[in-house]
Amino acid sequence: MSSLEFEILVTAMTVSAACAVPGAYLVLRQMSMVADAISHTVLLGIVLAFLVVPLYGHPLMVFGASMMGVVTVLGIDLLKRTGLVREDAAIGITFPALFSLGVLLISLLARDAHLDEHMVFQGDLVYSVFQRLELAGHGYGPMTLWKMAGIFLLNGVLALRFHRELKVATFDPVLAATLGISPSLVHFGLVLMTSVTAVGAFDSVGSILVIGFMVVPPVTARLLTDSLARYLGLSVLLGCVSSLGGFWIARTVNGSVGGSISLVMGAMFVAVLLASPRRGLIADWRRRRRQRVEFAVRMLVIHLFQHRALGQRTEENHAGHLEAHLGWSAEFSRRITELAEARGLIRRVDAHWLGLTSVGERQAEQALAG
């Protein structure tokens, strides 16, 4: 791997890590679509800020551009508060207009700047690494890397310092208020953090891919853990791992780095959705199947118990009649009968008739007693 490739990889991992921090809280607060709006409208912020401070990536310019994210969310909240427009529609109204204004301004005013339309949609991690940080004649590596490392550090420190505020304002805003924590301050603090991150990541992943970077790793992490601390850590880690995988794919097929990372994030989500040990679809399917079998065994025991007064050899107790009486397939009847027998709950009176053992009788009595 060349040093340039290594820089691209480290930059990609830093972008993922920085995005995962606000993303984790956005997902918990059901604000994923707000991230979508912010990541688009900061383009207008970037263009306007660029006109005032024509230094791309300058902290002042990043902060100025980020205010557009705050303005967007204020606009969405105002629209929502009229009671005439619901939140999802309010998002759909607000951001395309502001985003389009940004795109229009670029083509009118900043034709010569490196903000072209390709950059706007998906950024370019490779290109972003060519912008070098130079101080007093010395080169210090890619500017984007420094910028995103700074943003990751800032996000991390803020998330640690305000972990209680974020947690309680998310879980129970009313309690937060009684504790002297302002839920709306936390809300807009998170919006500002999201905006700064989206502006910072703009040249490397643009306004569409950045949503994936913010949302997919946390959603995946949530399927793997129920602890908030582990969820946050895992969100950052999964973002970094996806970057590693995505970088490798992009290098192999000579394609877009940001796009490949997004693809890996999506694939990882699907894999976890299927295979997560506790919450995954496969585990869920297995659990249901096991529950069905367990319930069938209990049902068989109770069925035999209820009909024990009829004597040992009635139709109800006939091994071959379970299909008719309990609505089971022949195969399922055989399986359940064998399982109940193996557990010592039932015994075969002879080749055809079933009876309960004393253990089975006790279990049936307990089950019926509730």
Partner 1 sequence: MQTMPPALEVNDLTVAYRDKPVLWDIDLQVPTGVLMAVVGPNGAGKTTLIKSVMGLMQPAAGSVQVFGEPAGRQQVRRIGYVPQRTSVDWDFPTSVRDVVAMGRYNRGGLWRRTDRRDAERVARALATVDMEDLADRQISELSGGQQQRVFLARALVQDADLYLMDEPFQGVDAVTEQSMVAVLRRLQEQGRTVLAVHHDLRTAPAYFDWVALLNVRLIASGPMATVFSECNLRGTFGGSAPEWANPPATTAA
Nearer to partner 1, 30 or 358 (CB): 30
Q: In whole angstroms, give the CA distance from residue 193 to residue 206.
A: 17
Question: What is the crossing angle of helices 330-342 and 281-306, to 10°?
Answer: 80
Site for partner 1 in 180-219 (CB under 8 A): 180-181
Cβ(118)–Cβ(202) under 8 Å?
no
Instruction: Give the x-and-dash track for 288-327 against partner 1 (CB under 8 A).
Output: ----------------------------------------
Q: In whole angstroms, give the CA distance from residue 337 to residue 355.
A: 11
Nearer to partner 1, 25 or 95 (CB): 25
Among the listed residues 81, 86, 161, 287, the single contact to partner 1 using CB under 8 A: 161
# of chain residues touching partner 1 (CB under 8 A):
24
The answer to whether residue 284 forms part of the interface with partner 1 (CB under 8 A) is no
DSSP 225: -
Which residue carries 């009595």 as its tokens?
365
The answer to whether residue 163 forms part of the interface with partner 1 (CB under 8 A) is yes
Among the listed residues 178, 252, 254, 366, the single contact to partner 1 using CB under 8 A: 178
- Give the phi and the psi of residue 355 in degrees, each rounded to 5: -140, 165
Which residue carries 């049936």 as its tokens?
364
- Nearest distance from C-beta of residue 191 to partner 1, angstroms: 19
Instruction: Give the x-and-dash track for 229-268 against partner 1 (CB under 8 A).
Output: --x-------------------------------------
CA proximity to 193, closest of 49, 46, 38:
38
What the block records as the tokens of 186 is: 């936390």
Cβ(48)–Cβ(68) under 8 Å?
yes
The answer to whether residue 160 forms part of the interface with partner 1 (CB under 8 A) is yes
Strand, helix or coil for residue 261: helix
The answer to whether residue 28 forms part of the interface with partner 1 (CB under 8 A) is yes
Binding residues for partner 1, per CB under 8 A?
A: 28, 160-161, 163-165, 167-168, 170-172, 174-175, 177-181, 222, 225-228, 231
